Structure 1
């Protein structure tokens, strides 16, 4: 008897993890990605304890520890450099059962590609439509050679925050909401970062209407991100010098990092998330996963992590209960947690990105007086997740 077949649409972190998880339980998986190739693109990625535990469950934890850089803690600073909060790594690991890692997104992709047959990865395939027949859903893709239709026992829609498959399944849903800010991202090469002596502590610095985050990642590189509150569809010049000018009087090593960043590594994305809850993540034998189901803002550092959780939960449910009942379990388990976190991320983003002087002062004052145990407890909703047992 031939193994069950799954079509995974989207070869990002969520789609690749779903492929790994389904292969692990004996499924044949075909991956479809709209990009013409999968290359070393993107910036940094944080893998929080909940996602570390999920990767351990899939047998990928050793590869993460080999490729990623364990973080010594998390901290918050103000633009002049004063530290207002810190969570030490030892406390995170003791409380949640795993450390926090950071690595280049491309390195994470390489990790998740291991063991996936190249013949099962199809690039240049943009999902155009689908059918949701009870036992054999199909997806039609637009390709350079014309439309291609593929059928399987299960379709996993992991095609991102602007998911075409979500729109096809739920045409009445209003789609993603603008979070109120844009994010610039960059990577400083190890040879330029070495002299800056930055410790492996995930750091976020708050200003009014702007934030700046720093993480040392694999191979001595340093990843940074800069959030700026701007109107939706604002026309911003793609200019590293302009970004550096915005943060020129912020504490070290922020100006130094920007000065050391190669222009070609600069990325910018407006931030969107799913504020309006989906009524279901499942339609027939099609399952929405990751940002397609519950896009969050970067404010809680959980976008990739929740997608990894989804993949582990989906495969475990299907293995235990079969496709149809397993998808019902997946929907029931994943929707409450992820939708709650999506809404929370939007609220937090509005607070952290506020341009209002008084509101920013209150935000900073509250952060500076929260005891570390209480601050750690606030992360528990995300970090305390554990993979399905058995």
Structure 2
């Protein structure tokens, strides 16, 4: 039986494990964290990723745990609506709805379909070597150093991928997007419509998504110099967003402190020479991290997993990896670079640019915006992997 090692138990790594097991691979997933615990963050699953999960037989779990979004909206800090994309329009055009759910719920959907002995925590990948037909990963564990060899290694270890740096030592690494993001979760919020909302201000934004089980997920973006260490706390955020429209101040006030997370935003602006080196494939953020501005980070990783598994199943490992690289690199690198440009526009502090940004958003018809989303949403997994890439 063909053997695969997946490094990283995030959304991309777990989806890859499902996709490979589905086509007959023996898979082990190695995660450096000592345990997989819930994090206070939500995730949006756009139509392209819904179709990919359906391809893997995971769509039922998504629908069970996810909340279908009735619309996507953009507002100003006063609450004035600039844009509304009805969920029915998105579903009619792209053959799937838009969902939001707690990241831990999606992880559960992915984990429960794996063989019981698949996931191994407490394994930090330190080195990797690859030859003609295998790759070997060395791990540091509490018990010491161990090595594993497989026919295929999937490096899904995130935007700061250690394995990417090992395989491509001349690559410059992630680019700072210019802002930081706080994320919070209100476990028992008042009933609100399932409308994914983003509110634009001056050098700041606030997003809201209704999840299942009465939960509301929110995120707050703030321009920040790289490596700054801002105050981390709800009191600071409450002051910063006190004059923004409801329910923003209400949500911050109702958020348990222990759900609050903060991360500086990085993405991969520089192009990699390949997503493949020998028998190793980069996947998800390790290959093409995007900023959150296009809502496609998890979605593109899910796409990667479907294409990779299909490619190596249809064409064999070596040719399949070439197919995977050719299918995924142009689409994802283009979206990564676009996400960086969009971040600069949406996070602008320039009043004239803000006025232009908001005026254009208000003037563009929803039907045109729905069509414009096709660069991401229109992707559909094909029976033939060579046809998988769409723009």
TM-score between the two structures when normalised by the length of structure 2: 0.97
Q: Which position in structure 1 is the counterpart of 2:258? A: 264
Matched, 1:274 2:268: yes
Which of 65, 68, 71 is equivalent to 1:70? Answer: 68
Residue deviations 1:188-209 (CA, integer Å, cap 9, x gap): 012xx12xx3210000000000
* Contact 1:300/1:345 (8 A) holds in 2: yes
Which of 108, 111, 121 is equivalent to 1:110? Answer: 108
Q: Which runs of 5+ in 2 are unaligned?
A: 385-391
Which of 315, 325, 329 is equivalent to 1:331? Answer: 325
Alignment of 1:1-390 (within 5 A): 3-190=1-188, 193-194=189-190, 197-389=191-383
Task: Determine helix, strand or coil for the equivalent of 2:101.
Answer: strand
Give the Cα–Cα distance (whole angstroms) in 1 for the partners of residues 169 and 255 of structure 2: 42
* Contact 1:8/1:158 (8 A) holds in 2: yes
Residue deviations 1:163-194 (CA, integer Å, cap 9, x gap): 0000001000000000000000000012xx12
Give the Cα–Cα distance (whole angstroms) in 2 for the partners of residues 133 and 175 of structure 1: 24
**Offset, 1:355:** 1.0
Q: Which runs of 5+ in 1 are unaligned?
A: none
Give the Cα–Cα distance (whole angstroms) in 2 for the partners of residues 115 and 73 of structure 1: 30
**Offset, 1:388:** 2.1
* Contact 2:40/2:185 (8 A) holds in 1: no
* Contact 2:12/2:298 (8 A) holds in 1: yes
Give the Cα–Cα distance (whole angstroms) in 2 for the partners of residues 359 and 134 of structure 1: 53
Residue deviations 1:124-174 (CA, integer Å, cap 9, x gap): 111101001111100001111111110000000000000000000100000
* Contact 1:312/1:387 (8 A) holds in 2: yes
**Offset, 1:354:** 0.6
Compute the RMSD of aligned alpha carbons: 0.8
* Contact 1:316/1:388 (8 A) holds in 2: no
* Contact 1:127/1:141 (8 A) holds in 2: yes
**Offset, 1:361:** 1.2
Aligned residue pairs, count: 384
Give the Cα–Cα distance (whole angstroms) in 1 for the partners of residues 209 and 57 of structure 2: 25
